[in-house]
Amino acid sequence: MTRAVITGAGAVSAFGVGVPALFDGLAHGRTCIAPIRSFDASAFDTRVACEVAGAGIGRGWLRDHLGHLGGAEAVLDRYERAGAWRDRKCMFALLAAVEAWRMAGCGPGDDEASLVMALGLEQAFLDDFGPMFSGQEIDWSIGGHTGIRFRSDVDLGARLVGDVLGLYGPAIVNASACAAGGLAIAHAASLIERGAASIVLCGGADSMVNPFGLGGMSRLGAPSPRNDSDACRPFDLRRDGLAIGEGAAMLIVESEQRAASRGARVLARVLGYGSTQDAYRVTAPRPDGAAARRAMELALARARLSPKEIGYINAHGTGTLLNDVAEARAIAAVFGPGAVPVGSVKGAIGHLMAASGAIEAAACLLPFDRNLLPGTANHRDPDPQCEVDVIGAPRAASVDAVLSNSFGFGGQNVSLILGRPA
């Protein structure tokens, strides 16, 4: 079987633009949870999030971070007229994609390159729904207002990335809720393994830090009501909800043979992946974690690894009451209680929704790059119901394989296994 490897990575998170910013923030165990500044959140019960810093995120901000990119100006002009810069996730996706493309040493344009992306709620500009919300209350009469713009082109962000980089291969947009970013990477690896592509740009982008996103999640009771930097406490006894984040991550996944032929540096190997669905409830996981357990078992089987060969687990770990217990049960069932170090980066950068699986796969490169396991910001008091070894602070360790979980609304589950470069 052709093996898929990762040769480039790009990230935008509340730590800043770039993978180095993500790695440094995680290595120092910091949290980005802070008062929302991009809009007036005073009417909401939850008024904190993990925002990408930048008072004027727009075309100028994008140009400053992109630097010189030959031929991009005309493309950016065209997408500006289409209103793309009103949607932060489009800009995040492009920045992450360009960083990954450059890191991998890819040239301008590639007629072989495919594109697999996860984009959250791409059909609408969510900020346009802001007038519908006064705090958590919804004024449904505004819903039909002509100022609310739906986009029929659900691939807007993907087309932007493809046009700027000159990608001519097929483009696929994944919309599987919070599992979408992880599923995009799994799909990319499967294309490589079966010879359907030799190089794929994959990942996800999302931004729910706006009145519509915060209002909708608040109606579900998902965000923590705390309004301080401790708002998200994965696997903690006093956890009470998630923190919304925003950003993007993109990876270059290519065949091992192609990477070797061009002398590319390999960041990690994609060893395995598994996907299942709960068939239970839209907004709650199966309490026994059975489907999540099966996703991990499928990933291990595909990687031909035993549970003992996994050195670290990046948990979905949202900090919600139901999710953390169900996931802990699933992990304990596969690996044994407390057998493998477990961490969640959501206490640091928040829940990036459709992009969470992608940004967390990028975070899972840290153990291979610096021999450091990402910790779990804000985790202080272990919940006895969660029988897993949750590490609070980053931990120095050399591991050969890591597993990353992403579980989405509707019971969509995916587990990825990444391995140290050979």
Q: What is the 3-state secondary structure (H, E, C) of the chain?
A: CCCEEEEEEEEEECCEECHHHHHHHHHCCCCCCEECCCCCCCCCCCCEEECCCCCCCCHHHHHHHHCCCCCHHHHHHHHHHCCHHHCHHHHHHHHHHHHHHHHCCCCCCECCCEEEEEECCCCECHHHHHHHEECCEECHHHCCCCCCCECCCCCHHHHHHHHHHCECCCEEEECCHHHHHHHHHHHHHHHHHCCCCCEEEEEEEEECCCHHHHHHHHHCCCECCCCCCCCCCCCECCCCCECEEEEEEEEEEEEHHHHHHCCCCCCEEEEEEEEEECCCCCCCCCCCCHHHHHHHHHHHHHHCCCHHHCCEEECCCCCCHHHHHHHHHHHHHHHCCCCCEEECCHHHHCECHHHHHHHHHHHCCHHHHHCEECCCCCCCCECCCCCCEECCCCEECCCCEEEEEEEECCCEEEEEEEECCC
pLDDT tens digit sequence for 287-326:
999 999 999 999 999 999 999 999 999 999 999 999 999 9
First to last CA, the chain: 16
Separation in Å, CA 319 to CA 48, 277, 326, 346, 385: 15, 21, 12, 8, 13
pLDDT for 152: 44
- Is residue 178 part of the annotated active site? The answer reads yes
Active site residue 68: no
Residue 143: pLDDT band (50, 70, 90) is very low
Query: 312 with 341: CB under 8 angstroms?
Result: yes
Question: Choosing from 32, 106, 178, 232, which is the catalytic residue?
Answer: 178
List, by residue range, all CATH 3.40.47.10 domains of the chain.
4-261, 272-419
* pLDDT value at 170 more than 50: yes
237 pLDDT higher than 50: yes
- Is residue 226 predicted with pLDDT exceeding 50? yes
In whole angstroms, how far apart are CA 82 and each of 74, 156, 160, 176, 323?
Answer: 13, 10, 11, 25, 39
CATH H-level, domain 4-261: superfamily: Thiolase/Chalcone synthase (3.40.47.10)
**Residues 387-415: pLDDT tens digits?**
999 999 999 999 999 999 999 988 899 99
Residue range 272-419, CATH number: 3.40.47.10
- Tell me: pLDDT of 235 over 80: yes
Instruction: Out of 65, 187, 351, 379, pick the active-site residue.
Output: 351
Res 384: pLDDT: 97
- The size of the chain, in residues, is 422
Is residue 316 annotated as part of the catalytic site, yes or no? yes
Which of 316, 364, 379, 386 is flagged as catalytic?
316
